[in-house]
């Protein structure tokens, strides 16, 4: 089963490119000319993102390194015991909507410390896999087109993250607990 | 809201650093993080350039019509403000399919392209439309069938069966996605109701 899924994940990107090129040549599309036409937009789009990325990543770096995040986790421990989230998972739960690469680092660290087959390790894996980095996605996507009034997007994203995190904890308790 | 979180993070970080006597490290963290951010933007250039090129081929060849055919009914219900066969619809469908397969890096250029196209339908360019909010709700909930990165990390840390979290991840991701769509609909209906009662 693992080999099968592993093969699928290995094949997804090359397979899509292969299929796209085969189908495009069947439809007699000028493949390379078309590629260049689309690729030309890549640079400008990435450069437009720089101010948004700098602003967010500096804030996250300061918040984590200064110890402010740890302070917040310590304050919230009684609340977490009521919901049933192990306190060790709190930094991950806080970081997951804010910074993808930091969350991934925390997940890796949790699996190393508790073992990938421990309940905490599996909860961390499920959390990491089941929600995306809300703040990053909003910054990136709204930033790319210059939207300043984001309306209800952030609230919806954070509520969905909370639902995903709770679901990850509950489902893992039921399946692996 | 983004303004609030951003300023609270920085202000609290500086105050906590001062209390802990680490105020000297603040400047260094700012420099390091800013450099990391620009690094991310530059590494995006490569993948964005390549994928936007491939996407143009997929778009031009008409291959996208297969994907649209499968997801179309749901997409029309989710994005009522986007005309049928509009470029924004194609880009969003590509983004959602790439996310489903766990191709996070491939999904991002499609997503940004989708926002670009949605922006062309936007009467007020500084304000998000309903459809943009729905699109981001689905994206932030990250509907994934194959969590590729996590499987790789589990393999690296010596898990007995690295893929055994796929089941729990699919259940959790469906919970977060359904919650996102549900909340987004509530906001949409509430705003419509508010606008209607204010015009009466």
Hey, of A38, A136, A154, A177, which one would you mutate to test binding to chain B, going by the most B CBs within 10 A of its CB? A38
Predicted pLDDT at A46: 76
A-facing residues of B in 17-36 (CB < 8 A) are 17, 20, 22, 25-26, 29-30, 32-34, 36
* Confidence check: pLDDT of B100 > 90: no
Q: How far is the C-alpha of B103 from the C-alpha of A23, rounded, in Å?
A: 21
Tally of CB atoms within 10 A around B95: 25
Q: Is B45 on the interface with A (CB under 8 A)?
A: yes
Domain that holds residue B26: 1-49
Q: Is A163 on the interface with B (CB under 8 A)?
A: yes
Which residue on chain B is closest to A144 by alpha carbon?
A: B112
Q: B16 and B79, same structural domain?
A: no
Inter-chain CB proximity B147 and A172 less than 8 Å = no
Percentage of chain B exceeding pLDDT 70: 90
Predicted pLDDT at B127: 93
Predicted pLDDT at A163: 93
pLDDT in tens, B119-147: 999 999 999 999 999 999 998 887 777 67
Burial class (CB in 10 A: 0-12, 13-18, 19+), B142: buried
Task: Name the maximum alpha-carbon separation found in chain B.
Answer: 64
Q: B104 and B160, same structural domain?
A: yes
Inter-chain CB proximity A155 and B183 less than 8 Å = yes
The H or E element that residue B36 is part of is helix B23-61
Predicted pLDDT at A13: 65
Higher pLDDT, B179 or B73: B179
pTM over 0.90: no
Residue A45 — left, alpha, or beta (φ > 0 → left; ψ -120 to 50 → alpha)? alpha
Which residue on chain A is closest to B10 by alpha carbon?
A: A59
Q: Is A154 on the interface with B (CB under 8 A)?
A: yes
Hey, of A141, A158, A162, which one would you mutate to test binding to chain B, going by the most B CBs within 10 A of its CB? A141
Q: B178 and B94, same structural domain?
A: yes
Q: B154 and B75, same structural domain?
A: yes
pLDDT in tens, B29-41: 999 989 877 887 7
Q: Is A117 on the interface with B (CB under 8 A)?
A: yes
Q: How far is the C-alpha of B200 from the C-alpha of B195, rounded, in Å?
A: 9
Predicted pLDDT at A97: 86
Predicted pLDDT at A42: 79
Q: B28 and B109, same structural domain?
A: no
Hey, of B13, B109, B163, B183, which one would you mutate to test binding to chain A, going by the most A CBs within 10 A of its CB? B13
Query: Which range, of A127-136, B68-77, B80-89, B189-198, averages the lowest pLDDT?
Result: B68-77
Q: Using an 8 Å Cβ cutoff, are A66 and B13 in contact?
A: yes
Give the residue-averaged pLDDT of B187-192. 90
Q: B131 and B174, same structural domain?
A: yes
Q: B173 and B81, same structural domain?
A: yes
Q: B183 and B86, same structural domain?
A: yes
Higher pLDDT, A8 or B7: B7
Q: How far is the C-alpha of A62 from the C-alpha of B15, rounded, in Å?
A: 11
- Whether residue B179 is contained in a domain is answered as yes
Contacts of A29 in chain B (CB under 8 A): 57, 60-61
Residues of chain A with pLDDT below 50 are none
SS3 B127: strand
N-term to C-term CA, chain A: 23
Q: B90 and B11, same structural domain?
A: no
Q: How far is the C-alpha of B169 from the C-alpha of B173, rounded, in Å?
A: 6
DSSP-assigned letters across all residues of A135-171: HHHHHHHHHHHT--B-TTHHHHHHHHHHHHHHHHHHH
Instruction: Dig out the tokens for B104 from the structure.
Output: 């996070």
Q: B45 and B66, same structural domain?
A: no
Phi–psi pair at B71, nearest 5 degrees = -95, -5
- Whether residue B56 is contained in a domain is answered as no
Instruction: Please give the distance of CA B74 from its chain centroid, rounded to a whole number.
Output: 18
- Whether residue B54 is contained in a domain is answered as no
Burial class (CB in 10 A: 0-12, 13-18, 19+), A17: middle
Q: Which of A102, A70, A94, A143 is nearest to B33 (CA)?
A: A102
Q: How far is the C-alpha of B54 from the C-alpha of B45, rounded, in Å?
A: 14
Q: Using an 8 Å Cβ cutoff, are A2 and B162 in contact?
A: yes
Q: Is B115 on the interface with A (CB under 8 A)?
A: yes
- Whether residue B163 is contained in a domain is answered as yes
Indicate the average pLDDT of chain B.
84
Q: Using an 8 Å Cβ cutoff, are B148 and B166 in contact?
A: no
Phi–psi pair at B31, nearest 5 degrees = -60, -50
Q: B67 and B30, same structural domain?
A: no
**Domain count across chain B:** 2
pLDDT in tens, B17-64: 999 988 989 999 999 989 877 887 776 687 778 877 887 887 788 765
Q: How far is the C-alpha of B200 from the C-alpha of B198, rounded, in Å?
A: 6
């Amino acid at each position: 089963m693992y080999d099968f899924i592993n093969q699928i994940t290995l094949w997804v990107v090359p397979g899509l490119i292969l299929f796209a090129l085969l189908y495009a040549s069947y439809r007699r599309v000028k493949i390379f000319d078309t590629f260049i036409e689309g690729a030309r937009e890549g640079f400008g789009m990435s450069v437009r993102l720089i101010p948004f990325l700098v602003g967010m990543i500096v804030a996250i770096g300061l918040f984590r390194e200064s110890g402010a995040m740890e302070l917040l986790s310590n304050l919230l421990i009684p609340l977490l015991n009521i919901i049933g989230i192990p306190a060790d998972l709190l930094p991950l739960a806080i970081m997951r909507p804010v910074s993808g690469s930091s969350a991934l680092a925390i997940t890796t660290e949790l699996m190393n410390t508790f073992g990938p087959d421990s309940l905490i390790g599996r909860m961390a894996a499920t959390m990491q896999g089941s929600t995306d980095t809300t703040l990053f996605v909003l910054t990136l996507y709204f930033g790319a087109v210059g939207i300043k009034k984001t309306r209800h997007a952030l609230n919806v994203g954070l509520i969905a993250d909370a639902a995903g995190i709770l679901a990850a904890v509950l489902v893992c308790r039921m399946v692996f607990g | 809201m983004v303004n609030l979180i951003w300023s609270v993070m920085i202000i609290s970080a500086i105050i906590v650093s001062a209390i802990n006597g680490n105020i000297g490290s603040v400047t260094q963290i700012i420099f390091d993080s800013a450099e990391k951010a620009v690094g991310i933007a530059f590494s995006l250039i490569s993948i964005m350039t390549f994928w936007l090129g491939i996407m143009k081929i997929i778009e031009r060849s008409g291959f996208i019509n297969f994907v649209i055919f499968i997801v179309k009914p749901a997409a029309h219900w989710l994005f009522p403000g986007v005309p049928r066969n509009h470029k924004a619809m194609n880009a969003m469908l590509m983004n959602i399919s790439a996310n489903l397969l766990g191709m996070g890096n491939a999904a991002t250029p499609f997503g940004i392209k989708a926002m670009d196209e949605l922006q062309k339908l936007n009467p007020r360019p500084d304000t998000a439309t309903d459809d943009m909010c729905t699109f981001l709700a689905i994206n932030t909930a990250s509907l994934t069938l194959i969590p590729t990165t996590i499987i790789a990390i589990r393999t690296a840390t010596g898990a007995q069966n690295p893929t055994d979290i796929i089941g729990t991840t699919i259940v959790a991701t469906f919970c977060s996605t359904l919650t996102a769509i549900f909340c987004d609909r509530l906001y949409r209906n509430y705003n419509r109701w508010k606008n209607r009662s204010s015009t009466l």
